Every structure is written in C-alpha cells, then in structure tokens.
Amino acid sequence: MANLNNATTTAAKAAAGASASASGRPAAYPLAARIAVLTDGNPKKPGTASYDRFALYYGAETVENYIAAVVAGGGTRAKARADLRWDSARGFVTIG
C-alpha cells in the first residue's frame, strides 16, 4: 500500500503544479537559476564545512557557479545540491 500512497502523493503534487522526484525531494534546480542570499551574515556555525560552503553563495550568481565553487573546494555536486535544498527550505536563500 505504501507504493499506492506514494503514487497518490506524487500525482497530487503534480496536479498542484509542484515538482518532486520519486524520493519526495524537489526536482533539481536549473543550472542557470539565480541564487539570492536572504540572511544578514552567515547562519552556519563558524569553523564548519557548512559555514565555508555557505560563504560561497556570496560569490555565486547561479546554481552552476555555486556547484562549481563547492567542487573546486573539494566538495561534491551532491553536497552542493543538498545545500541548495536545505538552505532554500529554511529561507536562507532563494533560487530562481
């Protein structure tokens, strides 16, 4: 029954105009989408990798620029995309 519920939820989201993958996460952001930082200062804990990655938003105008900066700093594309989803969901940045 779980598959039926997942299919129903996915269909309901599609009908409402929301896009989501099979995992329920939002679909990937377009590489050309612009990033705007909404916070004053860095909301992450100083000295952490997430703090360092958040600082990269200030030099990145687009999703593609942010991903490239994360990868250049030794991170992965998956981590960069996870950051985008997390920070967008919490209102730290907007993407679009």
Tokens describing residue 42: 């860095």
The per-residue pLDDT for range 32-91, each reduced to its tens digit, is 999 999 999 999 999 999 999 999 999 999 999 999 999 999 999 999 999 999 999 999
Domain count along the chain: 2
Query: Same structural domain for residues 16 and 63?
Result: no
Q: How far apart are CA 86 and CA 96, in angstroms?
A: 15
Query: Same structural domain for residues 40 and 76?
Result: yes
Domain that holds residue 19: 1-27
Query: Same structural domain for residues 6 and 44?
Result: no
Rounded to two decimals, what is the model's pTM? Answer: 0.73
Q: Let me know the angle formed at the C-alpha of 64 by 81 and 66, rounded to the nearest 5 degrees.
A: 65
Query: Same structural domain for residues 59 and 91?
Result: yes
Query: Same structural domain for residues 17 and 48?
Result: no
Place of tokens 């804990």: 45
User: What are the residues facing 93 on neighbouring strands?
Assistant: 37
Query: Same structural domain for residues 44 and 86?
Result: yes
Closest CA to 58 of 27, 87, 82: 87
Query: Same structural domain for residues 91 and 65?
Result: yes
Tokens describing residue 72: 């250049």
